[in-house]
Structure 1
C-alpha cells in the first residue's frame, strides 16, 4: 500500500529538494505540496495523506499551528517537522503535538530519507542533534529556554517574581515601561497565563525561579 506524503515549505528550492528526495523512496508517493500554512491545510484536506512533512517557519500560519489544527481534525495523520528552528521551545511544542519526527534543515538528504522510511514503517525519527534535548523535555526537564523565553524575558520574569512593578523593572534594566509591558505580554503568552500574579505562580510551579 502506498504511503502518501504532503510536503509544505515556503522556500521553493528546499521544497523541491525534499520532494525529489522523498520520491526516491520505495512505496512513497508525494501527493501534494504547499508553500504556506493555509496551503498545507488545504493540501492535507484535498489529498488525505499519511504523512505531512512541514517547515515550522512559514507565512500565514506556522508549521506548529498547522499541526495543532490537524491533530484535532485528522488524528491519524503523522507529522514530521523539517526546520532550522530546533530551539527548545519549538521542540517542546513538537513533542506535545505528538510529532512523528523532527529533522533539522542542517541534516543531509540521506537523513531525511531515513526519517521518511522510519515513519513509513510505523516508527519515529529525531535528528541526532536534537534527540538528547527531546529526551530531556520528555523527562520533564523544562528550563526557561524550553518555553521559548529569551534571556531578557527571563530577567524580567525574575524581577517580577521579586515583587517589582513594570516601572521598577524598567528602571533596573534601563528600559521604557512600554518595552517592559511588551515583554510581559510575551511572557504571559509563553507561560499560558493572563496576569502578573498568574505568571509568578506559574514560574514557581515550573521551577523557573527559586523561592527566596
Structure 2
C-alpha cells in the first residue's frame, strides 16, 4: 500500500527559485506539489476550490504583501499550514509573520534537507524555523534583554553625569557629600552594569542608552 503524499502549494515570483523548490519537493516521496504560483492572486484563486495541506509562501510578491496575503489565506482556508520561504532576514519581518500566526519561517539560503525537515516539522504542528532564523531571533532576544535589564539607580545616574562632565572621584565625592570609597564602589558597579572597561566606554554607552 502506497504512502499518502502531503500536498504542498508553492508561491514565489522568481521562476528559478520556484523551479528549484519544486524539484526538491518532487524528489521527496512524502510530498506532492499541488500548485505553483508567482502571485498572491493566483494562489487565492486556487484556494477557492483546492486545499493543499501546506503553503510555502514568499512574502515579497509583486501584487500583495506577505501579512495581507496570509490573512486572506486564513480567511479562506483556516486549516492550511503556512510556512514562510523568504530572503528577508530582518528580525522585524520574521517577528511580524510569526506573531501573525504563520507556522514557521525559512530563509532561501537554507540547505535543501533542512528545508525538508522544516516542512515536516510544520506539518506535525511544530513551529518550524531554519537554523539561521533561530540565530536571528536569539540575537534579537539577547539585545532586548540587555536593554531591559540594565537599570541604574538615581544616584548612579547622577554619578555618570558627573563623570561625563569630567569630574574626578574626589570632586564627585565632594559634590555629593560622600566618601571617595563610596564613589569608587559606585563607579565599579556602573562599569559592571554597562559592561564597559573604562570611562570613555562608559560615557559612550551612557549616551547610547540615553542615560545622560
Q: Which residue in 2 is equivalent to 1:56?
A: 59
Provide the TM-score with structure 1 as the length reference: 0.60
Give the number of aligned pairs.
Answer: 147
Q: Which protein shows a greater Rg? A: 2
Does residue 20 of structure 2 align to residue 2 of structure 1?
no
Identify unmatched segments of 5+ residues in structure 1: 143-208
Residues 102-131 of structure 1, C-alpha deviation per residue, up to 9 Å, x if partnerless?
110111222211112222333231111221
Runs of 4+ residues over 3 Å off in structure 1: 132-139, 209-212
Q: Which residue in 1 is equivalent to 2:50?
A: 47
Identify unmatched segments of 5+ residues in structure 2: 146-208
Q: Which residue in 2 is equivalent to 1:92?
A: 95
Residues 166-195 of structure 1, C-alpha deviation per residue, up to 9 Å, x if partnerless?
xxxxxxxxxxxxxxxxxxxxxxxxxxxxxx
Q: Quick check: 1:51–1:79 contact (8 Å CA) kept in 2?
A: yes
User: RMSD over aligned Cα, in angstroms?
Assistant: 2.7
Shift of the 138–30 alpha-carbon distance from structure 1 to 2, 3 Å rule, reads: farther
Provide the TM-score with structure 2 as the length reference: 0.60
Q: Which residue in 1 is equivalent to 2:72?
A: 69
Q: Which residue in 2 is equivalent to 1:104?
A: 107
- Which sits farther off after the overlay, 121-130 or 72-81? 121-130
Residues 23-60 of structure 1, C-alpha deviation per residue, up to 9 Å, x if partnerless?
22233211011001111222233321111101111111
